[in-house]
């Protein structure tokens, strides 16, 4: 499901069963990441599918990329793998107004 940033953030804040998933490349992640996000690069192809399939399918996933298209693809893949609740951040990290963390 596509959510605008304000809805994505407000829903995330009230969700105690949530995981934030960043599907960008490592180079993009090095420019900053939404705090507490886990990173699995969608460009890994089959590797992405394998890693995502290991995640807890009972959680709610808040997924983002740079602009919103790769994360929409990731949500579709995750839904096919049996994830019930995936939320795509419309506009992605490029329009993110919230806090940003940096990997060490």
Report, as residue numbers or ranges, the catalytic residues: 65
Q: Environment class of residue 8 by beta-carbon count within 10 Å: exposed (0-12), middle (13-18) or buried (19+)?
A: buried
| Cβ neighbours for 55, distance < 8 A, ≥ 6 positions apart | 19, 61, 83
DSSP string, 10-34: HHHHH-TTEEEEE-S-HHHHTT-B-
Q: How far is CA 1 from the centre of its chain?
A: 12
């Amino acid at each position: 499901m596509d959510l605008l940033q304000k809805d994505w953030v407000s829903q995330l804040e009230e969700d105690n069963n949530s995981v934030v998933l960043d599907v960008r490349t490592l180079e993009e992640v090095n420019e900053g990441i939404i705090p507490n996000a886990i990173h699995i690069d969608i460009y890994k192809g089959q590797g992405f599918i394998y890693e995502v399939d290991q995640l807890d399918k009972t959680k709610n996933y808040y997924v983002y990329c740079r602009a919103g298209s790769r994360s929409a693809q990731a949500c579709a893949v995750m839904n096919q793998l049996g994830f019930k609740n995936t939320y795509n951040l419309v506009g992605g990290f490029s329009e993110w107004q919230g806090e940003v963390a940096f990997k060490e």
